[in-house]
Structure 1
Amino acid sequence: MKDGPDSNTNPRILPQKRSWQLLVVGDGGTLLTQQDIESLTRILDLLPYVAGLDITTSAGSARVSRDVPGNYIQQADQILAGMFTRNPDVTGITFPATHGRAAHTATADDPHVLPHDRALTAIMDARQHGEITADEMIAQIRQAGS
C-alpha cells in the first residue's frame, strides 16, 4: 500500500453512517409501526444485494426500498475521479455484476460507479426536487437499468 494521508486508516473500524433512508410506497405502508420500519431497514442493511421488498398488509401492499440522496451517485463519482487523479497507478475499479447486469469498470476517462449513472442522477435529482413521484422514480430507475 502506498503511503498517503489516509494510509493509517483502517476502513474496518471507521464509524458507519447509513447513506440512505427507507422509502415506503403504497397503502400497506400505513400499518407499519416504527419497529417494523427499523426491522425492514436492518434487513436491507444486512442484505445489500436486495433492491427492495414487497410488503402485504390488511390495508394493501407496499414497496420498501432504499431512498438515497439525489447527489449520492455524484459523490461516489467524484470520489472515483479524485482517486484516479491522485494516483495514476490505479487504472480501473470494477463494480461487480448485479441483477443480471454486466460488471462495470470505472476508469480515469469514465470515472462513474454505474454505466448509466448520468441518467440515474437526473432521475434522483428530479425526485429530490419533487418533479416526479416515488413510483415514477422507481419505474424510471428500472427502465434506465435494463
Structure 2
Amino acid sequence: MLTLSSSEQSSSFSEETVAALTRILDLLPHLPGLTLQTKFGEVHVSRDFSGDTASAVDALITTLLKDDPSIIGITFPRTGKRPEHTATMKDPHFLPDGKQFAVVNQALKAGLMESSEAIRRTKTIDNKE
C-alpha cells in the first residue's frame, strides 16, 4: 500500500488500520485509491499503482512485446472511469495515463518532488480519466 501525505507531519497508522485499508482496496478493485482526512491533513492511500505494482506490470508488458514479435499490443478493458487501453511498444503501460504516472513516481523517488505535489499531480491525472 502506498500512502502520500499533503502534510509536513508524517502520518503513522496502526497495523489494524493498514490491514483494514488494504482490505477495502482489495474488495473494491475498481477504486484507484482513497483519500483519508486526518487532523494533520489529507493522506492519499492506493495499491501503489503509481509505484512498484504498475512498474512491474509495465515491465512484463514490455517483455511480452519484445520477446514475442507476433504480439503487437495488449488491450486492457474499460474499468470504471478508465477507458479501454492498448499497450504497445510505443506506450508499454497498462494504464491509459501510465506515462504520466511513471513520471510523477520517478520524480518522487528521486526526491525531485514533494509528496504533496505528487498527490496533487496524481489526482489531476486520475480525475482527467
TM-score normalised according to structure 1 size: 0.64
Specify the alignment match of 1:93 in structure 2. Answer: 74
Count of aligned residue pairs for this structure pair: 124
Gaps of 5+ in 1: 1-20
| Aligned amino acid, residue 82 of structure 1 | T
1:97–1:142 CA distance, 2 compared to 1 (3 A): farther
Shift of 1:70: 4.3
- Give 1:1-146 correspondences, 5 Å limit: 21-23=1-3, 25=5, 30=11, 32-56=13-37, 59=39, 62-66=42-46, 67=48, 70=51, 72-145=53-126, 146=128
Gaps of 5+ in 2: none
Q: Percent identity?
A: 30
- Root-mean-square deviation (CA), in Å? 3.0
Asked if the contact 1:94/1:104 (under 8 Å) is kept, the reply is: yes
The DSSP-based 3-state class of the residue aligned with 1:94 is strand
Larger radius of gyration: 1
Greater relative CO (CA pairs within 8 A, separation 6+): 2
Q: What is the rounded CA distance, in whole Å, between the counterparts of 1:115 and 1:37 in structure 2?
A: 28
Which portions of structure 1, spanning 4 or more consecutive aligned residues, are displaced by more than 6 angstroms? none
TM-score normalised according to structure 2 size: 0.70
